[in-house]
């Protein structure tokens, strides 16, 4: 007897473990009959998970926390027992904005502090000349994309709420929005940054790993009460996804994985773009410049699949910093409880792996036991102690 499951996802490379687990038969081997449902927006995924139309979902890590805390929507506690990916985002800018930033650059253009200060100088010049604020696209208010953009900008002195405009766009719409001039830049997950570069309309300015060494990006999310009633199913899902993550991380399988993900009903882009993403070898400029990074997207290596509650604490701290939530100790505790290493350990039968430090390029090291003290170190933000 098999257990039918409906699982929602967004067409992004960090859905790889979810897609491979289903399409390679790893979920079927665990007695699960999985139907993957491709969605366009994160609000659709969240809402269908929350009301039970989905049993599980590929979900933005901050959305799982916001849903559990009742921020921005109804309160539905979520359990996240598996990280589908760490990192994987990038900031891509239009050719015009790239040229303007390069005119202001004073230092290494790969250093996010150097580009952030260049952005601050450019913003000041534009304000003085009466130009419209620059517009940056991100995928959702409760998203790592939003927080990574804000962290990067604020480090150099740009107030993301006062000096630029941030707009929400579904990931598949980012490239056309840049091409049409609706945005000057965006932060999104793979493969959409690479698609913009391949079309000659974007330059990848930074990988997310330039800003944060480790950033919990997407999680396999289930409703907390559902996980309690179906602990055996959760364990089966974890085993299938671990097998998929290990398959993806084997370089010998990358070509097959890229072909699976490239299918129209999955991500629907050229397999070569996906393989470059998985290999961490990306074209960052229309002139063909290549940049390599082993930390661009981590799916299964370095024990990243095991959720780290400290990562959840950092995401909650960003919600507080940018005025999405007041700081409350019990809310911090609840946010950290969304990430479930206990379920991962029980389902996988594996011992705990090493934690992945936040490693932000600016500010003091993050201490989840002192969020107010951490936030007090930053001059720009909406939070008041």
Q: Let me know if residue 341 belongs to a domain.
A: yes
Tens of pLDDT, residues 242-298: 999 999 999 999 999 999 999 999 999 999 999 999 999 999 999 999 999 999 999
For residue 50, count other CB atoms closer than 10 A to its CB. 19
Which of the residues in the chain have pLDDT under 70? Answer: 351-355
* Residue numbers of the domain that contains 251: 3-86+215-268+299-307+319-358
Q: Let me know if residue 264 belongs to a domain.
A: yes
In percent, the amount of the chain with pLDDT more than 90 equals 93
Report the pLDDT value the prediction gives residue 300, as an integer from 0 to 100.
Answer: 85
Q: What is the CATH number of the domain that holds 243?
A: 3.40.190.10
| Cα–Cα distance, 77 to 81 (Å, whole number) | 13
What is the domain count for the chain?
Answer: 1
Q: Let me know if residue 260 belongs to a domain.
A: yes
| Cα–Cα distance, 329 to 370 (Å, whole number) | 10
Q: Let me know if residue 23 belongs to a domain.
A: yes
Report the pLDDT value the prediction gives residue 301, as an integer from 0 to 100.
Answer: 85
| pTM higher than 0.85 | yes
Among positive and negative, which fits the CA dihedral 115, 184, 174, 179?
negative
Q: Let me know if residue 12 belongs to a domain.
A: yes
């Amino acid at each position: 007897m098999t257990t039918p499951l409906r699982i929602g996802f967004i067409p992004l490379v960090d859905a790889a473990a979810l897609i491979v687990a289903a399409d390679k038969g790893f979920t079927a081997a665990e007695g699960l009959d999985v139907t993957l449902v491709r969605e366009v927006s994160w609000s659709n995924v969240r809402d269908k998970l929350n009301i039970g139309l989905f049993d599980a979902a590929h979900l933005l890590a901050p959305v799982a926390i916001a849903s559990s805390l009742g921020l921005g929507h109804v309160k539905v506690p979520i359990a996240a027992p598996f990280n589908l990916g760490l990192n994987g985002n990038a900031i891509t800018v239009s050719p015009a904005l790239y040229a303007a930033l390069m005119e202001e650059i004073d230092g290494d253009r790969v250093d996010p502090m150097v580009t952030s200060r260049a952005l601050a100088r450019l913003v000041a010049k534009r304000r003085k000349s009466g130009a419209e604020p620059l517009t940056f696209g991100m995928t959702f208010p409760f998203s790592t994309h939003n927080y990574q953009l804000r962290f990067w900008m604020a480090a150099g002195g740009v107030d993301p709420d006062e000096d630029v405009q941030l707009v929400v766009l579904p990931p598949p719409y980012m490239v056309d929005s840049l091409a049409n001039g609706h945005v000057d830049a965006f932060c999104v997950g793979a493969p959409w940054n690479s698609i913009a570069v391949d079309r000659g309309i974007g330059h990848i300015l930074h990988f997310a790993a330039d800003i944060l060494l480790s950033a919990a990006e997407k999680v396999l999310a289930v409703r907390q009460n559902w996980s309690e009633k179906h602990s055996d199913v959760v364990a089966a899902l974890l085993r299938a996804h671990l097998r998929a993550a290990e398959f993806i991380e084997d370089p010998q399988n990358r070509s097959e994985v890229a072909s699976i993900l490239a299918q129209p009903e999955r991500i629907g882009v050229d397999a070569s773009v996906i393989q470059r993403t998985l290999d961490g070898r990306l074209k960052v400029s229309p002139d063909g410049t290549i940049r390599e990074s082993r930390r661009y997207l981590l799916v299964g290596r370095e024990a990243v699949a095991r959720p780290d509650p400290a990562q959840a604490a950092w995401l909650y701290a960003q919600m507080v910093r940018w005025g999405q939530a007041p700081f409350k100790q019990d809310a911090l505790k609840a946010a950290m409880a969304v990430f479930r290493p206990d379920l991962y350990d029980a389902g996988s039968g594996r011992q705990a792996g090493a934690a992945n430090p936040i490693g932000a390029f600016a500010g003091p090291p993050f201490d989840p036991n002192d969020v107010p003290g951490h936030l007090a170190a930053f001059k720009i933000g909406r939070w008041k102690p």
